[in-house]
Amino acid sequence: MKTLVVGISGVTNGGKTTLAKKLQKQLPSCSVISQDDYFKPESEIKIDENGFLQYDELEALNMEILMSAVYSWMKNPRNSLESDDLESAEEVPILIIEGFLLYTYNTRVYEPPDPPGYFDGHVWPMYLKHRKEIEDITRNIVYLDGTKSEEDLFTRVCDDLTEERAKQKCLQITPKVPSSSTSGIL
């Protein structure tokens, strides 16, 4: 079965979960796994010299458990879907994995506010560190402009996913042509 796995990453509190949930509502056969659901207990999170819990480090996450959830979905995506409608059953299943590791500097205001200096002293440097690591990976990564509106970003990603799903669906139903070494009539 063809599936489509998509990662949405970016700076902490940059809108990843909002985008993922909105896409899930819009796209049939779409599941979301949020990295925030896999943090270790607070007692296992390192504290830096300023007294800040280091949630923006990979070591703060139970990545083995998260990856187990991803592999479980990949083995049986239909079991993970919440919808039983016919349209969903015919679509290539999509898994969106969203997490904090990269991409856009954004100074959003949220409650409760971070302690003074936390974003500039910890969140942003960790973002730059992780982004540098990702830039060295040669995969099909689309970087979004965090200065664009939420609706513009949603439309771009939704259109890209719809297009990719259509490609996957075509690949799934294209009949296999025997190779030239096979005897017989085509």
pLDDT in tens, 102-145: 433 344 445 566 677 777 787 778 877 877 777 777 667 777 77
Quickly count: other Cβ atoms within 10 Å of residue 23's Cβ. Answer: 20
Q: Is the pLDDT of residue 182 over 50?
A: no
The single residue listed with the structure tokens 């100074």 is: 107
pLDDT recorded at residue 111: 56
The helix (H) or strand (E) run that includes residue 6 is strand 4-9
Instruction: Say how far apart CA 89 and CA 186 lie, in whole Å.
Output: 32
DSSP 123: I
Residue 80: per-residue pLDDT: 60
Assess whether pLDDT exceeds 80 at residue 33.
yes
Catalytic, out of 36, 85, 145, 160:
36
Q: 112 preceded by cis ω (within 30°)? A: yes
- Our answer to whether residue 84 is catalytic in this structure is no
167 to 6, 70, 90, 157: CA distances (angstroms): 15, 22, 14, 15
pLDDT at 56 over 50: yes
Dig out the tokens for 50 from the structure. Answer: 């300023």
pLDDT value, residue 63: 81
Highest mean pLDDT among 30-34, 97-101, 106-110: 30-34
Percent of the chain with pLDDT over 70: 77
pLDDT per residue as tens digits for the range 154-173 = 898 889 888 888 888 777 65
Average pLDDT value for residue range 53-69: 84
Handedness of CA 155, 158, 163, 164 (dihedral sign): positive
Give the residue from 96, 148, 103 showing the smallest Cα distance to 126.
103
How is residue 125 annotated by DSSP?
H
pLDDT bin (cut points 50, 70, 90) of residue 34 is very high
Task: Give the pairing type, strands 30-34 and 4-9.
Answer: unpaired
Instruction: Give dist(CA 90, CA 69) in Å, integer.
Output: 23
pTM beyond 0.75:
no
- 2-24: per-residue pLDDT in tens? 888 888 887 777 788 999 999 99
- Cα–Cα–Cα angle for 22, 26, 29, rounded to 5 degrees: 110
DSSP SS3 for 148:
coil
